[in-house]
Amino acid sequence: MLKPLQEVLPPKGRAVGAFDVVGLEWAEAVLEAAEGLDLPVILSVAPHLGGPPMGALAPGLRHLADSVRVPVALHLDHGESLEEVARALRLSFTGVMLDGSHLPLEENIRLTQLTVQLARAYGAGVEGEVGVVPGQYGPGKGGEEAPQYTDPQEAQRFYEATGVDALAVSIGTRHGLYKGPVRLNLLLLKELSQIPVPLVLHGASGLRPEEYRALIAGGIRKINLYAELALEAARALRGGAGEDYLGLMAGVKEALKRLAASRMRLWWG
């Protein structure tokens, strides 16, 4: 069941999984895991990751989402322009994010306000971001540079000015796989959780179960995952026992399904 982003975001104390998918096999694995657990889920598409063009992938994702009984949002992750946002909405995406986190606050607000105006015409939800989660988005590319932590006053101003449905924050995580210790700022998260908007965690790959639990208890309600999925897919391919492409891809799909299910169980509680 395809649903707007805002309708799959859970109450405090739980987090919905948002899985970046780069092919229909990935989406099938995630949806089978969600349906098996009877949990809502978000299929995210991040164009900068590569894979099929958004226009080619979207029809298949819509079909798959409508074929399961659990609520599914189809979300544009890290959109880079208003044109990309508009294209996603025309393709029936039910959630969009224009990542203005690297811009000055007022410009981030301006672009996000325009994103909200576009999305509301389609009934779609909007995610914004304040603060910078460093690192590239592929597996093994998590940078060691320090995050630009989210300023609570700026986040409050951003939310009040834009009315976004979800807010991504920077509290110590990094995109990609970690090369050093993770230093989560839970005190900052506690302060940010006073803003009346679901908080989103980017850079979630590689965290320990107790860290996930602390983040969810602190107010995180949407968790993005990609790097671990990509690494798991590569492992499945290297160790695959299939004699042909379809056999190998069946092994990849099963590995991704197991990983997605384990994270959904942990995050939903």
Q: Which two tokens stand for residue 75?
A: 């979300």
Quick one: pLDDT at residue 104? Answer: 96
Listed residue (155, 161, 165) closest to 189, CA to CA: 155
99 is an active site residue: no
Quick one: pLDDT at residue 38? Answer: 98
**174: left (phi > 0), else alpha (psi -120 to 50), else beta?**
beta
Measured in whole angstroms, how far is the alpha carbon of residue 261 from the centre of its chain?
Answer: 15
Task: Kindly report the pTM of this predicted structure.
Answer: 0.94
Among 20, 38, 66, 77, the one annotated catalytic = 77
CATH code, 157: 3.20.20.70
What averages of pLDDT result for each successive group of 10 residues across the chain (269 residues)?
97 97 96 98 92 91 97 97 97 97 96 98 98 66 66 98 98 81 92 98 93 97 96 89 81 95 96
Residue keyed to tokens 């044109």 = 83
Taking CA atoms, 51 is separated from 26, 177, 221, in Å, by 11, 20, 27
User: What are the backbone angles phi and psi of residue 259, rounded to the nearest 5°?
Assistant: -65, -45
Residue-wise DSSP of 164-197: -SEEEE-SS--SS--SS-----HHHHHHHTTSSS
Q: Answer yes or no: are the C-beta atoms of 126 and 164 closer than 8 Å.
A: yes
Taking CA atoms, 154 is separated from 80, 105, 195, 200, in Å, by 21, 7, 11, 16
**Number of structural domains in the chain:** 1
By residue count, the chain amounts to 269
Which residues constitute the domain of residue 238?
Answer: 5-268
